[in-house]
Amino acid sequence: MDYFNFREKHLFAEDCSVAELAKQYGTPLYIYSRATLERHWHAFDSAVAEHPHLICYAVKANANLAVLNLLARMGSGFDIVSGGELARVVAAGGDPAKVVFSGVGKTAAEMKMALELGIYCFNVESLAELEQLNDVAAGLSTMAPVSLRINPDVDAGTHPYISTGLKENKFGIAMNDAEAAFTRAMELPYLQVKGVDCHIGSQLTELRPFLDAMDRVLALIDRLGDKGIDIHHLDVGGGLGVTYDDETPPMPNVYASALMEKLQGRDLQLIFEPGRAIAANAGIFVTQVLYLKENAGKNFAIVDGAMNDLIRPALYGAWQKIIPVRQYRSAPKVYDVVGPVCETGDFLGKSRELSIRKGDLLAVRSSGAYGFVMSSNYNTRPRAAEVMVDASSHYVVREREKLPQLWQGEHLLP
Ligand SMILES: Cc1ncc(COP(=O)(O)O)c(C=O)c1O
Ligand SMILES: N[C@@H](CCCC[NH3+])C(=O)O
């Protein structure tokens, strides 16, 4: 089921006309669907309803306060990678007791903040980090709950920039060093060992790498058990892919059920950290055609949205579907859809067959994850507004930036 649909040739986001939203709020514009976010979160939660679990939405995918607040209201936990994300979760009404803290470079100040707020668990990624966390916890005379992120050395079969589970990647503790790391964690007096964590990459479209990683991690949990180290939870990370084009990733319930099968007979809480699978297809990015032009036989649609707004195509060569907000019958042409930023790499899509005119609106689909959060002010471009639709209601959940905000905090020399 899709909450972004055409009605009489006009694109709707739930029951709101996208053209009307663009008229009211301007472009470029991010539009999110509340119903879609909720449905995707429930797909995970209901798949494992019978088993002790925690769904920790990966804040990095879309950190808008309204998005976090919606998920918090459903009882979601959160996976964070910075003190900033933790502060966002708190500002959005999220419960720190349901937060897991991932990332290879947590600072002492971030650890202190997280300990004081009482987070659920730290996903520790190195021996050096274990020692540091123990010191910070000692300074607060408190115990730090820890899980060790293990790098299982499986090929996630995804883009190299977003693959994290190979031994040459910077993430996690190598499987060969895992037992020694757990032994060390048990020795450190201010750490409480709770879990094993594993995240092998993003936009995975097959079950196999997840299941391989799970097998390796469960074997580790058994070896730890033999040493008297009891593991309370298994955090399987995020990474489940979505359909951008013709990919057919497993549905969250299929994925979750496959993992659950492997857990049969084990008393392990299961933690998921989905980001993209919840947010990507809950959002579109709307941009207006400024000019159509032809250079040496090539057609360009120059639009008002750019790589600073949506960087995935420029950064990873990622393909996202681009559709006109209003469908025409006139003969389509093939265009590169490019933005106003002064970089050859500034494109939203290449070689797209489109039937468009100057002034038309285009929607870039699947933009709810790693869209606005990765935007910048390059070329001194204010960041786009974000709107959430809820049936026929719509709300600005982040205002379009105003120019003076862009140089706030800058100072002239005396
Ligand atoms: C530790 C961790 N957890 C969760 C996620 C979320 O990943 P995804 O958006 O692919 O579900 C990421 C990003 O890949 C991550 O690094
Ligand atoms: N930013 C990446 C995903 C990164 C995942 C980070 N752990 C993307 O847009 O596909």
pLDDT tens-place string over residues 275-297 = 999 999 999 999 999 999 999 99
Residue that has been written with the tokens 């994850």 in this structure? 369
Atom of ligand 2 lying closest to residue 203 CA: 10
- Check 16, 121, 198, 342 and give the catalytic one: 342
**CATH class of segment(s) 4-32+280-406:** mainly beta
Q: Has 342 been annotated as catalytic? A: yes
Residue 163 is predicted with a pLDDT of 64
- According to the model, what pLDDT value does residue 190 have? 98
pLDDT at 1: 75
Count other Cβ atoms within 10 Å, centred on residue 299: 17
CA of 393 to the centre of ligand 1 (A): 31
- ipTM more than 0.90? yes
pTM across the whole model: 0.97
Q: Is 276 annotated as a binding residue?
A: yes
Q: Which of 370, 373, 374 to mutate to test the pocket of ligand 2 (most atoms within 8 A of CB)?
A: 370
CA of 242 to the centre of ligand 2 (A): 12
Residue 220 has pLDDT above 90, yes or no: yes
For 236-270, b where at least 16 C-beta lie within 10 A, e where not — what string? bbbbbbbebeeeebbebeebbebbeeebeeeebbb
- Starting from the CA of residue 314, give the closest ligand: 2
Ligand approaching nearest to the C-alpha of 238: 1
Which residue's alpha carbon is at the smallest distance from atom 4 of ligand 2?
Answer: 162
In this structure, what is the dihedral angle of CA atoms 88, 120, 52, 175, given to the nearest 10 degrees? 110
pLDDT of the residue at 169: 74
Read off the pLDDT of residues 244-285 as tens digits, 9 standing for 90 and up. 999 999 999 999 999 999 998 899 999 999 999 999 999 999
Mean pLDDT of the chain: 96
Residue 96 is classified by DSSP as G
Q: Is 149 helix (H, G, I), strand (E, B) or coil?
A: strand
Of the pLDDT bands very low, low, confident and very high (cuts 50, 70, 90), residue 153 is confident
161 assigned ligand-binding residue:
no
Domain map (residue ranges) of the chain: 4-32+280-406, 34-277
pLDDT in tens, 59-108: 999 999 999 999 999 999 999 999 999 999 999 999 999 999 999 999 99
Read off the pLDDT band of 161 (50, 70, 90).
low
Q: Is the CB of 197 under 6 A from ligand 1?
A: no
Cα–Cα dist 109/84, whole Å: 11
CATH number for the domain formed by residue range(s) 34-277: 3.20.20.10
Please tell me the predicted confidence (pLDDT) of residue 228: 97
Determine whether the shortest distance from the Cβ of 235 to ligand 1 is under 6 A.
no
Atom of ligand 1 nearest to the CA of 204: 10
Could you identify the atom of ligand 2 that is nearest to the CA of residue 159? 10
For the cut 90, the answer to whether the pLDDT of residue 139 exceeds it is: yes
Give the confidence band of 330 by pLDDT, cuts at 50, 70, 90.
confident
E strands present in 260-413: 269-272, 283-295, 298-303, 322-324, 333-338, 347-354, 361-364, 385-390, 393-398
Distance 57 CA to ligand 1 centre (A): 9
Measure Cα distances from 385 to 17, 201, 343, 377 in Å.
17, 29, 23, 13
Q: Which atom of ligand 2 is nearest to the CA of 238?
A: 7
Q: Is 85 annotated as a binding residue?
A: no
Q: How confident is the model at residue 164 (pLDDT cuts 50, 70, 90)?
A: low
Lowest mean pLDDT among 175-184, 323-332, 350-359: 323-332
- The stretch 170-188 carries a mean pLDDT of 95
Percent of the chain with pLDDT over 90: 93
Residue 218 Cα to ligand 2 midpoint, Å, equals 26
The pLDDT-based confidence of 159 (bands split at 50, 70, 90) is low
125 touches ligand 1 (CB under 6 Å)? no
Ligand lying nearest the CA atom of residue 374: 2
Taking the CB of residue 302, how many other CB atoms lie within 10 A of it? Answer: 18
- At residue 162, does pLDDT exceed 70? no
